[in-house]
Structure 1
Amino acid sequence: MKDNVLQQDPIAAIATPLGIGALAIVRMSGQGVLAIAEKVFRKAGSNEDCALSDSPGYRAHFGRLYDGDRLVDEVVLLLFRSPASFTAEDMVEITCHGGPVVVKAVLKLLLDNGCRLAEPGEFTRRAFLNGRIDLTQAEAIGEMIHARSESAYRTAANQMKGALAHKLDALRSRLIESRALLELELDFGEEDVEFQSRDELRARVDELRREVSELVDSYQHGRLMSEGVATVIIGRPNAGKSTLLNALLEEERAIVSHMPGTTRDYIEECFIYHNTMFRLTDTAGLRDAVEEIEHEGIRRSYEKIAEADLILYLMDISEDDFMEEVATIKDIRDEYAGTELLVVANKSDGAPDADQRMQKVGEESGCRVLGISALRQEGLDKLKDEMARLTEGLDKLHEASVLVTSMRHYEALRNAEDALHNARELINTEADTELIAFELRSALDYVGEITGRVINEEVLNTIFDRFCIGK
């Protein structure tokens, strides 16, 4: 943390969701917030304004807010002094009553007395710019707020604690060391001096590349934990896809109709089972489209299939021509070989020989087949168990595991991996020291972009614009 923090202009925002509740929090940060608080706050039992300038940090004060002589609310005011605050600036948090009208009145009072309304994510942005947190921790705060499963929450908490940042800082230190030795060689180029042998450098680059590759490979796992298992429900029109979606969600989310082609675009919702979040997508039925809108829906269905972690192929096992779908199932199995595929035989209650039919589909397609009745909600527990089995281990990572969950981090690490690969090839071909140093510098910059040691204003805007106002 920086000892001498630049106090920026004072900002204020509501830090809790708007709505009727017992309490709400309005916060201020920046230069002069103590003076603003003194103007509007009177301590309980006193008609005088409260002098907060002499109050120590982490001190709570009970009293009332006034707009002139008009009472605004009875509040608890909590004071944080720079640099020991979230933003590393002077901060004041006001806990007031939670009615929307009350909260807005408190915010207006602060704005009328010198604050401006904070931009989305501006408190966290100031925490980053003032050295209170790095960029990975800032992003983790946003991920924790939006976490929809325990695994996503634990992953974000681990990152907010600095697990990824510590790993990247260690990588960065070794990259700096290797590059510095190469720079020394360039400075003494005329004397043909090597400060580290090429074998030592090759071993160091290989080690760094392995560590970066491990982080790159962790992205698939990390993405599943933070975003959920992308589960796409596909099949012919009227197979019962929307009914299955509604049954798994336990709510009427999708329109169900006997008319083929009702679903023209995909519908996406989440549900949690055994601490794992499944991101369900109900797609348009796969068939030769009869109109342009339906054709576009089917095209989007195939886009979602390509992005899936788990495909549920839903078929109507009660139909006389049920075996005609086997060829389609095999084509999907072959085309998306790296994706888990489960055949779900719907309406199994409508065929006396459903077990024999499912066995035949399984033998011909080479896929596991489960029978359900989406309408009667039969067999759903067995289906959920199988979905959980296919993603087994997702929620059983050790607390200290370091995972990459952000596409931004993933792309930067991929670039760093490529730069280290290039450096390795240059070493093997005994290329000029300057070329090797350039690739190591590139790798260093890509790693630095993740934690914010290399600052890109456009990247910062993209990250913090996703935050809510007040955070």
Structure 2
Amino acid sequence: MTRSDAAPSEGEPIVAIATPVGVGALAVVRMSGSGVFDIADRVFSKAREPERPLAESPGYTAHFGRLYDGDSLVDEVIVLVFRAPNSFTMENMVEITCHGGPVVTKHVLKLLLDNGCRLAEPGEFTRRAFLNGRIDLLQAEAIGEMIHARSESAYRTAVNQMKGSLSGRLSELRDRLLQSRAMLELELDFSEEDVEFQSRDELSEQVDALQREVTELVDSYQHGRLLSEGVATAIIGRPNAGKSTLLNALLGEERAIVSHMPGTTRDYIEECFIYRNTMFRLTDTAGLREAVEEIEHEGIRRSYEKIAGADLILYMIDISEDDVDEEIPTISRISAEYPGTKLLVVANKIDRILEAPERMEAIRSACGCAVLGISALQEDGLAGLREEMNAMTRDLDKLHDASVLVTSMRHYEALRNAQDALQNARELIDAREETELVAFELRSALDYIGEITGRVVNEEVLNMIFDRFCIGK
């Protein structure tokens, strides 16, 4: 469906707790929709009387008073009034700041539900903001990404998107696509007269320019993904090489179970840590060996899945083992099979053997990859490891200074589809094919870009996006 650009309309009144559940000084309960002022007036008594009711109060005003359930006092609160269309949802809104705590907020929420509100669904406030034209779909997603940002760079990228940097770029692309398509549609209207309203050379140049811009956005996904999701880092190696110990040491907490028994890690464990503004998404995997049982075999299969999706592989070896050189073929094979992935051999337990430097050099020479010595248990060499991880992944950031980045797989796939449609259009133009075929490909590219901002969207996509939001957002 195509989103309507009609004037915003108010839906049924909804309510939700907008702050995290738990004990705190304050909490916020928000309402939006038709009749919210009347609902608030039924339960709220201002501290100073007589004053006009909330339904007659101007927008952006705060009112101190008490909430009552019949004759029973619920809480002393501050009520904020937002009048449509000058609110987040572009509907009439009321936000009630009460004392924090699960019992207090539960009573406030129940009071408003009993007086005519419906409990909001996940993301329903933001969904209404989108449907009423306050923000586009891309900006709505950016709000969710900002809330869930785990690093400063991810937060800054989300803020840029919420401000509309990517939306503006896509809007410009869409306008130019519309112009090119409009000329072709005009030709179709006059098809019997066999006229060209735009030369094919000029149209070809326009499509080339659009292709370059779409390709630039597609290419930015590599960096955008790293900012929003972190550098996918797989910790792999034989059982008992120290993978779980390293994960715990980098995180600074006992996240993974450490045991001397081989094969303890049956499934992967995933956690994040931040170093120099770069977020690393660490995955502790099952040890690589010939599995002795079905569960371990499945864990090893999942390990290889994580290796395939990694940006950085930390291959851990126990440098104190006499047969450590037998791991060289496996290291070389992984290096050859994943040439686009950074590989660092981490030689663990250097504190246990004097010959560690010589063994490390032999592996470095045989495999042609970086080798770094540490003692994960003693936390020796971890500072150097963090620096090396940061240095190795720095060049993944091809567009570090770019202000417009694609961070979502949904956006990336839509842009790839638009890229393909423009390529098809270019080939059709070169082959002097029918105008209708070229127009179809340009319409397809237009629709794919519209999917990102929500100009063209279906209910399933909306549900997928807003179900990820919390109830009060």
Q: Does 1:112 align with 2:104?
A: no
AA paired with 2:10? Q
AA paired with 2:9? L
Aligned to 1:9: 12
Aligned to 2:99: 97
Q: Does 1:441 align with 2:443?
A: yes
Structure 2 counterpart SS, 1:297 = helix
- Among 392, 410, 413, the residue aligned to 1:411: 413
Structure 1 counterpart SS, 2:65 = strand
Cα distance, 1:261 vs. partner?
A: 0.5
Query: Contact 2:342–2:393 (CA<8 Å) still a contact in 1?
Result: no
Q: Distance in 2 between matches of 1:303 and 1:4?
A: 49
Cα distance, 1:45 vs. partner?
A: 3.2
Query: Contact 2:242–2:316 (CA<8 Å) still a contact in 1?
Result: yes
Q: Distance in 2 between matches of 1:13 and 1:184?
A: 50
Gaps of 5+ in 1: none
Structure-to-structure mapping, 1:128-277, within 5 angstroms: 128-277=130-279
Structure 2 counterpart SS, 1:263 = coil
AA paired with 2:40? A
Q: Distance in 2 between matches of 1:391 and 1:195?
A: 50
Query: Contact 1:271–1:277 (CA<8 Å) still a contact in 2?
Result: yes
Structure 1 counterpart SS, 2:304 = helix
- Among 26, 31, 36, the residue aligned to 1:33: 36
Query: Contact 1:23–1:96 (CA<8 Å) still a contact in 2?
Result: yes
Q: Distance in 1 between matches of 2:380 and 2:152?
A: 28
Cα distance, 1:399 vs. partner?
A: 7.0
AA paired with 1:281? T
Cα distance, 1:49 vs. partner?
A: 8.4
Aligned to 2:300: 298
Structure 1 counterpart SS, 2:249 = helix
AA paired with 1:11? I
AA paired with 1:168? L
AA paired with 2:175? S
Query: Contact 1:2–1:132 (CA<8 Å) still a contact in 2?
Result: no
Query: Contact 1:56–1:81 (CA<8 Å) still a contact in 2?
Result: yes
Cα deviations by residue, 1:85-104 (Å, 9 ceiling, x for unpaired) = 00000000000000110011
Cα distance, 1:124 vs. partner?
A: 0.1
AA paired with 2:191? G
Number of residues of Structure 1 aligned to a counterpart in Structure 2 = 470
Q: Distance in 2 between matches of 1:215 and 1:321?
A: 48
Cα deviations by residue, 1:340-360 (Å, 9 ceiling, x for unpaired) = 000000001111011111111
Cα distance, 1:391 vs. partner?
A: 2.0
- Among 391, 394, 408, the residue aligned to 2:393: 391
Aligned to 1:420: 422
**Cα pair distance change 1:4/1:186, threshold 3 Å:** closer
Q: Does 1:19 align with 2:22?
A: yes
Q: Distance in 2 between matches of 1:2 and 1:141?
A: 21
Structure 1 counterpart SS, 2:288 = coil
Q: Distance in 1 between matches of 2:148 and 2:97?
A: 23
Q: Does 1:356 align with 2:358?
A: yes
Q: Distance in 2 between matches of 1:348 and 1:254?
A: 22
AA paired with 1:113? N
Structure 1 counterpart SS, 2:66 = strand
Cα distance, 1:3 vs. partner?
A: 8.6
Cα distance, 1:409 vs. partner?
A: 0.4
Query: Contact 2:223–2:397 (CA<8 Å) still a contact in 1?
Result: no
Aligned to 2:312: 310
Q: Distance in 1 between matches of 2:403 and 2:152?
A: 15
- Among 66, 70, 73, the residue aligned to 1:71: 73
Structure-to-structure mapping, 1:375-386, within 5 angstroms: 375-386=377-388
Cα distance, 1:400 vs. partner?
A: 6.0
Q: Distance in 2 between matches of 1:92 and 1:395?
A: 44
